[in-house]
Amino acid sequence: MQARKTRQKEIVAAVLEKAPRPLTIHEILALGRKQLPTLGLATIYRELNRLCEGRELQTVTIPGDPLRYEQVKHHHHHFKCTKCSNVYELEGCLKEINKLVPKGFKTMTHDITLYGLCEDCA
């Protein structure tokens, strides 16, 4: 059974589709309310859960930060600005990453977050 499309769900999907970087739920709410001032937090949580379960969205976890959401794409990493706290996608992956793994170990997955100043804050 397919979920019923509503204006609220369409707005949440559109906000995430247009996002140039992973967004927190409160960023999604603020951007969504520019289009629909009555958009509610509970609706956003439900839609994010549905999109994550359907593997259309994935969460970005950075220790000490709220979850961020982004569309499922190819393998990539993230950069967090230590001044404005925005998180950005980094394209590509280091091919040499497995050289860091001790002999006899097998890497299953990895996640790298770089920290520094974004272009606007630098």
pLDDT in tens, 59-96: 999 999 999 999 988 888 999 999 999 999 998 887 78
Q: pTM for the complete prediction?
A: 0.81
Angle, in degrees to the nearest 10, between helices 7-18 and 25-35: 120
| CATH class of domain segment(s) 7-71 | mainly alpha
pLDDT in tens, 23-56: 999 999 999 999 999 999 999 999 999 999 999 9
Q: What residue segments make up the domains of the chain, in order of their start? A: 7-71, 77-116
> From CA 122, how far away is CA 19, in angstroms rounded?
22
Taking alpha carbons only, the member of 42, 47, 46 closest to residue 16 is 47
The SS3 call for residue 107 is: coil
